[in-house]
Structure 1
Amino acid sequence: MVHTIKEYEEKSRVFNPSTHIKSRIQEMEGHSAIGAEIASTWKNLLDQRLVKETYPVIHPIGQETFSLYADYPTGVFEYALDIDGATALIKKKRLEPSRFSPTTIIGAVEQGNINQDQTQIKLNHKNPVMVLQSHFLTDNKPYCINGNHRINEAFKSEDQSIDVYIFNELEFFPFFYDRLSKAMYFLELDYHHVVNRDAPLIKSERGAFVYDFRN
């Protein structure tokens, strides 16, 4: 199902995280013994801690964040990403950007995130251009979480190159602003491992992410 950014935002407000988590738990329970064990751990986590989490998350004033929307059978969920925190991590780890031709990376720009009213654009280049790519959240396609306008302008100006920080699966986990976003991401990894056998990141049957997350 395809939505506009505004539709995603509206639908995400009525999303019920508990309903989604319970549906994933139910599918894992009936799939295998290992699935039932993982599901049981997620159920305990939901009952004891996640049910108390605030949703949608309240974005702090003065801190740059980004909303990444995921369309699930139970509705649209808002993953909150801490852009300022991501920049701090880049500096701490002294990460280096990759250089791309704008024609190559323009596909990562969600046009709905481009403000067409030039008078409303607030230039903020304190944080670098960032793109994440996730098999589970972006359909394995690059998706710009900061710097959409810079990529778009570089493309329109036919610039030769632009510096972009690329983050792949699990590399962007520290960027999640709230605990529920982190839980939902790990839940999807475990769910696909159990139900679809689609989890190249898990090296063993009992290597579920819920065991790390609950600590």
Structure 2
Amino acid sequence: MESKIELYEKESQIFNPFSHITSRIQEMEKKSSYGSGVAKKWTVILNGTLIREAYPVIHPIGQETFSLYSEYPSGIFEYALDIDGATALIKDRGIKPVKFSPLKIIDSVDPGNINKDPSRIKPNHRNPVMVLQSRYLTNDKPYCINGNHRIFEAYRNNDKQIEVFVFKELEFVPFFYDVLSKALYFLEIDYINVISEQGKNGAFAYEF
């Protein structure tokens, strides 16, 4: 599988989140009366909380974060994830890992996230192997956000098992490093529910 990471890194820099949000709001507005209500709430959020948010987010020095890129009609958005924070949450909640055969989890590794130059590999096992699986971010496929090289090595060495922490949908919301990442994730869920006419009993816009 060819990686698009380098392309995404460049394209995400020119993404305009405010134009994207406005476009989604307009589509929801036209879809239904329910969509119009959700759109109105997101307009308030956009003009209040989000208008002050900077993009792309600045990743702090000394803190491990991860960039997860998503393709939208308006371009490539960079979701910023706090890996150190995710590790702390795992410890605080006593979350247990799942044991996988590397053969079954290797597809979660994007080749663009593997450093294959031995001289440049800096082992950092402070944080565990983590995988996200989301209908809204990863097309419902597992995607490794930490420990790509460990999965790759386990696969290459024909290891029998590797321990992986798996997070789905709302389970990884606490991992978002910045407000804009969290907002865009909730917006996409509301947008899909409005367009597919599935969510009529509430929306994340009312809880944000």
Same fold (TM over 0.5): yes
Secondary structure (helix, strand or coil) at the match of 1:182 reads helix
User: What is the CA-CA distance between 1:3 and the residue it aligns to?
Assistant: 6.3
Rounded Cα–Cα distance in structure 2 between residues aligned with 1:74 and 1:59:
23
Across the two proteins, how many residue pairs are aligned to each other?
207
What is the one-letter code of the residue matched to 1:19? S
Residue equivalent to 1:32: 32
Q: Alpha carbon RMSD of aligned pairs, Å?
A: 1.1
Residue equivalent to 1:42: 42
**Equivalent residue runs for 1:111-150 within 5 Å:** 111-150=111-150
State whether residues 68 and 79 of structure 1, in contact with CA within 8 Å, keep that contact through their aligned partners in structure 2.
yes
Residue equivalent to 1:166: 166
**Equivalent residue runs for 1:65-144 within 5 Å:** 65-144=65-144
User: What is the CA-CA distance between 1:197 and the residue it aligns to?
Assistant: 3.2
Structure 2 gap ranges (5+): none
State whether residues 83 and 127 of structure 2, in contact with CA within 8 Å, keep that contact through their aligned partners in structure 1.
yes
Residue equivalent to 1:212: 207
User: What is the CA-CA distance between 1:118 and the residue it aligns to?
Assistant: 1.4
| Poorly superposed stretches of 4+, deviation over 4 Å | none
Judged with a 3 Å threshold, the aligned counterparts in structure 2 of structure 1 residues 17 and 3 are, in CA distance, closer, same or farther, namely farther
Judged with a 3 Å threshold, the aligned counterparts in structure 2 of structure 1 residues 92 and 151 are, in CA distance, closer, same or farther, namely same
- The Cα offsets for residues 20-42 of structure 1, whole Å up to 9 and x where unpaired, read as 00000000000000100000000
Structure 1 gap ranges (5+): none
State whether residues 3 and 111 of structure 2, in contact with CA within 8 Å, keep that contact through their aligned partners in structure 1.
no
- The Cα offsets for residues 35-71 of structure 1, whole Å up to 9 and x where unpaired, read as 0000000011101120110100000000000000000
Secondary structure (helix, strand or coil) at the match of 2:31 reads coil
TM-score by length of 2: 0.97
Rounded Cα–Cα distance in structure 2 between residues aligned with 1:174 and 1:184:
14
State whether residues 34 and 206 of structure 1, in contact with CA within 8 Å, keep that contact through their aligned partners in structure 2.
no
Rounded Cα–Cα distance in structure 2 between residues aligned with 1:118 and 1:40:
52
State whether residues 134 and 140 of structure 1, in contact with CA within 8 Å, keep that contact through their aligned partners in structure 2.
yes
Out of 3-12 and 185-194, give the one that drifted further: 3-12
Rounded Cα–Cα distance in structure 2 between residues aligned with 1:76 and 1:159:
35
Residue equivalent to 1:5: 5
Residue equivalent to 1:18: 18
User: What is the CA-CA distance between 1:196 and the residue it aligns to?
Assistant: 1.9
Secondary structure (helix, strand or coil) at the match of 1:103 reads helix
User: What is the CA-CA distance between 1:116 and the residue it aligns to?
Assistant: 1.8
Residue equivalent to 1:57: 57
User: What is the CA-CA distance between 1:6 and the residue it aligns to?
Assistant: 0.9
Secondary structure (helix, strand or coil) at the match of 1:143 reads strand
State whether residues 186 and 210 of structure 1, in contact with CA within 8 Å, keep that contact through their aligned partners in structure 2.
yes
Residue equivalent to 1:197: 197
1:183 maps to 2:183: yes
**What percentage of aligned pairs have identical amino acids?**
60
Secondary structure (helix, strand or coil) at the match of 1:127 reads coil
